[in-house]
Amino acid sequence: MHIAFIVQASESIGIGHLMRCLAFAQHLVKVGHKASFLLDGPSIEIARSRQDWDGHIIPFDYAQLNQELEAMIAESSTVIDWFVVDGYQFCSSLLQMLNKHEYKVALFDDGVRSSFEGATAVIDSSRPQVQGEEHFLFGAAFRLLRQEFTEQYCLPVKKRTTLTVSFGGSDPFSLTLPILKALEATTKFSEVTVVIGPGNRDTMAIEHFSEQSKMKLHCLHNAQNMASVWSNARLAISAAGGSQFELAVCETPSLLVVVADNQKQASRIAEQEGWAKTFVLNRNKDELVEAIADEALSLWFTEERLEEMQSAVSGKYDALGAMRITECLEKLSVNH
């Protein structure tokens, strides 16, 4: 199969959609399929910064999406079996145009859309599984994580050493620096690892804070192997969303910050399972970061609680979603 991805990444959108597609593409290439990405300038910059990038990059102007795509289809002699569309900004007219050209379309969703018109298959790990419906790839079994997470060994808490802070590729709500300052204010943390994504607009301010902080900060810029980072974290302070499931696979006790409505259900489940505590960004940011720092302080010095959290998530999650999605699309390619 040849699968072409329609997806964007930027400071405002974040990089989660692109990373999800990369996770899928990595498995496709691994098993002998072909992956291509239609990417604009900011997305290309992020893609080329990745050491684990898999897939052919096609420069693409999303300002005139349908017209550009029509022209590309008309000029290309390359056979494309599926278009994968990932992003809430893409509307039904795009899917209808692809249908007109008789392409199969796989649509990623996160409980956001009310209609899937024009989609041959819908992939949504947040929705309840639908039995007997091969077009709806719903449920946790279809959650995508990059290949690094399929190969990671989970260390027990007692062998882990780091308090790790990460708010994704862009940290759109600028939470990283306030969290670091709140941790420093407790005067109890001597070292913190902080992951700074490629789209984080506060990078220089974080670096400046690192230089003068009383804590020793280990700054990881555009970290290439988050599986290793999470698997060595004794406790993580992280954005919810896709990172939540990376943490779950790595069996890492976590404090999750919910910044979007479509993250609430999954984070609520994580808290019910017992391996995470959740905080919702719907109040004063100063109060929020202080509450997070207080909870981190409470957990950090109580190894028994951290071990209980790790035990609660052990074996509940896997990183095989890409394999399952590939198998489903292979079947639909034959039957559709």
Q: For residues 301-306, give the mean pLDDT.
A: 97
Residues 153 and 95 in one domain: no
Residues 140 and 160 in one domain: no
Residues 251-278: tens digit of each pLDDT: 999 999 999 888 999 999 999 999 999 9
Three-state DSSP at 108 gives strand
Return the pLDDT at 91: 87
Q: Check which CATH number belongs to the domain holding 155 and give it.
A: 3.40.50.2000
Residues 182-202: tens digit of each pLDDT: 999 999 999 999 999 998 999
- Catalytic residue numbers, as ranges: 17
Residue numbers belonging to the annotated binding site for substrate:
146, 246
Residues 325 and 262 in one domain: no
The Cα–Cα gap between 55 and 21 comes to: 10
Residues 124-183: tens digit of each pLDDT: 998 998 887 899 999 999 999 999 999 888 999 999 999 999 999 889 999 999 999 999
The Cα–Cα gap between 172 and 232 comes to: 25
Residues 300 and 178 in one domain: yes
Residue 104 CA: distances (Å) to CA of 39, 111, 184, 303: 20, 21, 52, 51
Domain range for residue 121?
A: 2-145+319-335
Percentage of the chain beyond pLDDT 90 is 84
Q: What is the dihedral angle through the alpha carbons of 28, 142, 166, 86, rounded to the nearest 10 degrees?
A: 70
- Residue 14 pLDDT level (bands cut at 50, 70, 90): confident
Return the pLDDT at 336: 67
DSSP state letter for 100: H
Q: Tokens representing 121? A: 């298959």
